Structure 1
Amino acid sequence: MRASLSVGPLRCTRWLMAAALFCCASLASAQSVPQVVPVSTTVSGNTATVVVGPASAPLADLTLTFDDASGLTASSLGVSAQIVNLSDSGLLARLPGVLTQPDALFPLLVTIEPPSTGGLAFDRTVRVEMHTHALTYSAGSSYRLFKASLGAGFKDITDEVAPGSVRARGTTGGFSQFLILADLRESSDVVAGKIAALRARVATLPSAERPAFDALINATETAVANESWSDAIAAIDSLRARAAARAGNQLTDTWLATRNGDNQAGDLIAGAATLRFSVSYLRDYGD
């Protein structure tokens, strides 16, 4: 006799989400165009919550927590979402390589492109959490939160991956497109790339500000090479603390919807946060 099957509310929700995503992804693939997904945005203080998909079985929810925002409303955020075609050559060309790919169970792209006339501004950073039950969390998960400007290459901004089922979190000094990808690159390569990105950002700072930040990056790189993990993390934390302390004074720290700001401090804080995550992952799990 076949055993009876008991399906709880969570498993049922996951099944509905998976079925909806599969249908949308299949349609997107067949038509070679992204399929738009409805979004609902609510704002309370410095926090915006975005529900992606139908209310009965949402595909994901996105939480944006700003350090200090002004003009923050549902309309000023400019949020949209779509199911992407996994074989879209344009999208694939924007990824860091074949070792970073969207999961077929969650081919969701969320775009946050605040309108220039919407009045949104924020200081320093915004914490982004993308949460979905379509993916399953496990310790040492390879899922990462990636971000890109429109049409540009995606970069890993992850500073935490937590259960529930997957909550991928990252910090950013700007917007606009977000994907959860499975990242199978070697952790040492990821760390090297994030160090290089921080160096490039420091190179745009006022000349008087560069030496101290460069010294902290050098200390991080040397400590990683020697597998002196506590020293590496201490140097990263010092870099982040220095950027935060100098925000709004020696370093500019405001992002503007008009796109004429330069969030130097926010970018450094965010870059340090994701580098810290990758160094910790390399320490705990190796390559």
Structure 2
Amino acid sequence: MLTHRTPLLLLLTLVAFSAMAPFGHALAGGPCIVETSIVDDRKFKADICLPNPNGPDFEMGFDLEFHLDPENPGSLVNLTVPCVGFSVEVMDAAAIADVESRLPDPANQSIDPALPLRVTIEPPVACGLEFEDDYDAEFDADNLVWNPQSPYRLMKAPIGGSYRNITAQVDAGSVRARGCGGTFSEFVLVVDQLQDYASETVAAFADLGITIGNAAIGPTASTTLGNDRSVSQSAFAAGNYAEAIARLDDMDAHCGALGGPALPNRWRSARDLENLEGEVVSRSGHLKFLLGRLNGDP
């Protein structure tokens, strides 16, 4: 548990263990609350409103959507609000400084004062949450304004660890940033002032290669995914960004087919398994975002 968390966070953590449990006190414009629920047996949803002593309330939605295979009941187990282990905090100056020091590019990436919120997902061990493949995460930030080539990015880190850019999409609404992953725990939305897509893409291909090279991935799966990566990177080097994206789509399809003993694809709250399929797809999704920006996507 992070020592800088405030009593507000502790209260929110307790409240989050009840579906649709409101938090907050009445403000001049009405109640400011956090509501949590499970939707369609596969999505954790949090509607967040937290008081801002210096202006309008901080408002956003946070969703985690898991894969649920009707033919495989074990693909998602024990998805309940308590078992997600959700908490959210308004970060103070010290917490913001700590987060920014752990970003991939601290000189150019920062927390927007308009949304200094950090979401933490730490499923309790005893709850037995289990899922296969990757989950989709989304920040829907009502406080922020979307513009084409938006600089907002979704970042994820293990508790107290280094953040990684998992942005796969940034849409209007007001700002909706999406990504995916196979592990948890801290999520923040940041502003990236530099946006050097070419350099970021080179680094992202290297990161993907390291992940594919994990010894826990079987040789056939490693070779298949490695070939997909190489063909995509060659297309990127030739300036054919659409082709590079298409080859990463192939990789995602191969991940779906190979998930299992050859490509470990399960996470559980005991934290004794490594969901490499989810992490490969997460890195592929971020690469497609970068390539899309190079190709002119807004």
Which TM-score tier does this pair reach, normalised by the shorter chain? Answer: 0.7 to 0.9
TM-score between both structures, scaled by the size of structure 2: 0.80
Residues of 1 paired with 2:101 and 2:220: CA distance?
A: 37
Alignment partner, residue 209 of structure 2: 199
- 1:50 match: 46
CA-to-aligned-CA distance 1:113-151 (integer Å, 9 cap, x gap):
111111101110111111111110111101011111111
Corresponding residue for residue 246 of structure 1: 258
Q: 1:130 to 1:285 in 2, by over 3 A?
A: closer
Flag the 1:164–1:285 CA change in 2: closer, same or farther, 3 A: closer
What does residue 80 of structure 2 align with? 73
Q: Distance in 2 between matches of 1:92 and 1:211?
A: 36
The residue correspondences of 1:95-174 to structure 2 (distance < 5 A) are 95-97=103-105, 98-174=107-183
1: CA distance between counterparts of 2:265 and 2:175?
A: 31
Q: Distance in 2 between matches of 1:111 and 1:102?
A: 16
Number of residue equivalences: 255
Q: SS of the residue aligned with 1:139?
A: coil
- Contact 2:58/2:114 (CA < 8 Å) preserved in 1? no
Letter in 2 for 1:92: E
Identity between Structure 1 and Structure 2 (%): 26
Higher mean alpha-carbon deviation, 202-211 vs 156-165, is at 202-211
1:85 aligns with 2:95: no
2:45 touches 2:62 (CA, 8 Å); kept in 1?
A: yes
Whether 1:40 aligns to 2:35 is yes
Shift of 1:91: 2.2
Task: Compute the displacement of 1:213 (Å).
Answer: 1.5
2:283 corresponds to: 271
**Deviation at 1:249?**
4.7
Say whether 1:182 aligns with 2:194. no
Question: TM-score, with normalisation over the residues of structure 1?
Answer: 0.83
Rounded to whole Å, the distance in 2 between the matches of 1:220 and 1:148 is: 26
Q: How far off is 1:261 after superposition?
A: 1.1
Unaligned runs of at least 5 residues, structure 2: 13-33, 69-75
Quote the RMSD (CA, aligned, Å).
Answer: 2.2
Does the CA contact (< 8 Å) of 1:51 and 1:58 recur in 2? no
Q: Which runs of 5+ in 1 are unaligned?
A: 1-31
Are positions 1:237 and 2:249 aligned together? yes
Shift of 1:57: 5.6
